[in-house]
Structure 1
C-alpha cells in the first residue's frame, strides 16, 4: 500500500508492516494503524526511527530503541496488561521509546516510563506504563550520546 508521509513523501508499506494499536496511543486514540520507518546512517540504523500513522500523513512520532539509551533497560509490567497483545514469546516483543525533540535539540528526551511494546508475531501494539520508579517520562538523552 502507498502511504503519504510528512517527512518521507510517499512510501510503499507492506500490509505485514502495519502495526495496530487497539486503543490508539494516549492522546491520539482515533489513529490506530502505524508503521515504523527506519532511517539509515552510513550503513547502520539511525538513532531515531519514526512511528508513522498510515491514515494521517502529518502524524509521526520519533522513536528510539531503548537499549541505545540504557543497555540495562528492563521495564516491569503487569502480565495481565501484556495479554492484550495476544500470544507471544519474550523474543516476539519489540520495545521503543517515544522521543521529544524540541527546537533546542540539547533538551531532547525519551519517555522511559511509558514504552511502546509491539508483538511482532501479530503486529499488535500498545503503550504501557512501567512500574519501575527509576524510569522517568522525560529522560534527557543528549549528554548520554
Structure 2
C-alpha cells in the first residue's frame, strides 16, 4: 500500500504495519490509522504518521530515553481494549512538541501512547499522576521522577 507523508514523501507500507487507534487521538477524531516510522538511523525519535492524512505526523520518543523509572498502571479497560496479553508486546511513546528554539521542545509524559505491537492497536492514555508533566523539557537538566 502506498501512502503520502509530510516528512518522507511517498512511502510503500504494509497494511499489516498499520496501528489502529479505535478511540482516535484527542483533537484528531477522524484519524485512527497510523504507522511508526524511524526518524533517522540511531535516533531515539519515532514518527507516528497518519495513514489517512499526510500532514499529520507526531514526533515521539520512548520515555526511557528521557527519564528513569517511568511507569504507570494500565487499567483493565485499556488492557481489554488493546487486547494486551503480554507486557513484552507493548511500546510506550510520548509525543514531542517541537518549538522554534529546539531547546524549548517538550515531551508529554502525562498522556503516553500505549501501543500493542502484536495486535496493532493503540491508545493515548491520560494519567492521573502528578509525577509526570505535560511539558517536560527535553534539554533541561531535571531530576529523576521519584517513586
Distance 1:144 1:54 in 2: 36
Whether the 8 Å CA contact 1:77–1:131 is kept in 2: the answer is no
Distance 1:132 1:38 in 2: 29
Give how far 1:82 is off. Answer: 2.6
Residue by residue over 1:68-118, the C-alpha shift from the partner in whole angstroms, topping out at 9 and shown as x without a partner, is 001311123323233211142111111000000011211110000000001
Whether the 8 Å CA contact 1:69–1:144 is kept in 2: the answer is no
Q: What corresponds to 1:73 in structure 2?
A: 70
Residue by residue over 1:33-77, the C-alpha shift from the partner in whole angstroms, topping out at 9 and shown as x without a partner, is 000110233xx2x12211000111000011111110013111233
TM-score by length of 1: 0.91
Residue by residue over 1:98-144, the C-alpha shift from the partner in whole angstroms, topping out at 9 and shown as x without a partner, is 00001121111000000000111110100001232200111111125
Q: What corresponds to 1:21 in structure 2?
A: 21
- Residue 40 of structure 1: SS of its match in structure 2? coil
State which drifts further: 53-62 or 70-79: 70-79
Detail structure 1 runs of 4+ shifted over 3 Å in the superposition: none
Q: What corresponds to 2:61 in structure 1?
A: 64
Structure 1 gaps of 5+ residues are none
Structure 2 gaps of 5+ residues are 143-147
Whether the 8 Å CA contact 1:36–1:49 is kept in 2: the answer is yes
Q: How many residues align?
A: 142
Q: Considering fraction of residues, name the structure with more strand.
A: 1
Q: Aligned-pair RMSD on alpha carbons?
A: 1.5
Distance 2:87 2:74 in 1: 13
Distance 2:40 2:78 in 1: 33
TM-score by length of 2: 0.90
